[in-house]
Amino acid sequence: MATDSGSQRRLYELMVLMKAADDRLSKGIATGELLCVYWPSRGQEAIAAALGLCLRPDDQLLTTYRGLHDLIGKGVPLLEIFGEMLGRQVGASRGKGGTMHIARPESGVMLSTGIVGAGPPVAVGLALAAKRRGLDRVTAVSFGDGATNTGSFHEAANMAALWDLPVVLVCQNNQYAEMTPTEHTMKVERVADRALAYGMPGVRVDGNDPLAVVASLRQALERARSGGGPTLLECLTFRFRGHYFGDPMAYIPKEQLAAAQAADPLPRFRSHLTGTGVCTEGELDDIEAAASARVEDALAAALAAAPPSIDELDSDVYGDPTHCPA
């Protein structure tokens, strides 16, 4: 099914908002204005925008420390993202979790984790709960190429397939795990091929093309929602800013980075939208200006917000054993 023009425009809005947030955070951290840690997602926007477009509000998403784009796509308010990164009470985790630990169940974001490979087993648990309760919700989990070398990924993939759980395993293959290229950690070339071992479809898509990601994601979501079980969706992309913000990226060959930047998903999708007549240059300029303004407003509000009060110290530490969210 082709993606209609309204949805294409929505994809661009999301991608532009993700890039604007990344650009502003990067500038603020580099100048010392913002005191926070950050694992940049610049370059990987197309995947998160597709997730944002295709997941329903009641679907769930789990992500990693490199989750800025995923959080924006799933609708976590910018104020709550920036507030959390800056340790403010308005943050999604009330300023007590920081960049690595942003969760917002109201938006379906159940986990951001700094433990590589920790998302898939939690997603499998959530999907098992949904299946047992007869909900037609799907749980998507986003993780890196490096995560597919952890035992927890393989255990989760096996169990998800065995029990036909409504999960979509979304690998954002940015070709590096910290400073190590994938060919130094995997004998197989394609992450998607790992699906064969567990009896589920494994699909590799161009992760810089939002329409390609949408097309594959829709199939995977449909399969999961109708009881067909999980899919491993490998989205091939690249990480433009290094592992952590400030990483000098000395380990990335210059030609490789230049080629990746030439395939930047943003200008490429912009050309597609204008070339096919979906949007005019002026409309896209307006989208970009609106995104920058939203980011500025949210960041100013987060900077002006208070840190967690002392009373927050022991709240949210222990769960309520009688409360079981639907």
Separation between Cα atoms, residue 72 and residue 53, nearest integer Å: 11
Query: Phi and psi (nearest 5°) for 289?
Result: -65, -40
Tell me the H-state helices in 276-325: 281-304
Stretch that binds ligand TPP, among 137-145, 186-194, 221-229, 312-320 (CB under 6 A): 137-145
- C-alpha R_g of the chain: 19
Question: Counting contacts by CB under 6 A, is residue 145 touching ligand TPP?
Answer: yes
Query: Which range binds ligand TPP by CB under 6 A, 51-59, 139-147, 246-254, 312-320?
Result: 139-147
DSSP-H helix ranges across 63-169: 68-73, 78-85, 119-132, 151-162
Cα dihedral angle (154, 157, 163, 167), rounded to 10 degrees? 150
- Single out the segment in contact with Mg ion by CB under 5 A; choices: 167-175, 201-209, 254-262, 288-296: 167-175
For ligand TPP, the binding residue among 55, 78, 116, 130 (CB under 6 A) is: 116
144 binds ligand TPP, rule: CB under 6 A: yes
Could you say which of 178, 281, 285, 296 contacts ligand TPP (CB under 6 A)? 178
Judge whether 145 and 171 are in contact, CB under 8 Å: yes
- Tell me if 194 contacts ligand TPP by CB under 6 A: no
Please say whether the beta carbons of 159 and 127 come within 8 A.
no
Among 99, 174, 208, 231, indicate the residue that binds Mg ion (CB under 5 A): 174
Q: Does 83 contact Mg ion by CB under 5 A?
A: no
Residue among 95 and 117 whose Cβ is closer to ligand TPP? 117
Contacting residues toward ligand TPP, per CB under 6 A: 66, 114-117, 143-147, 174, 176-178, 243
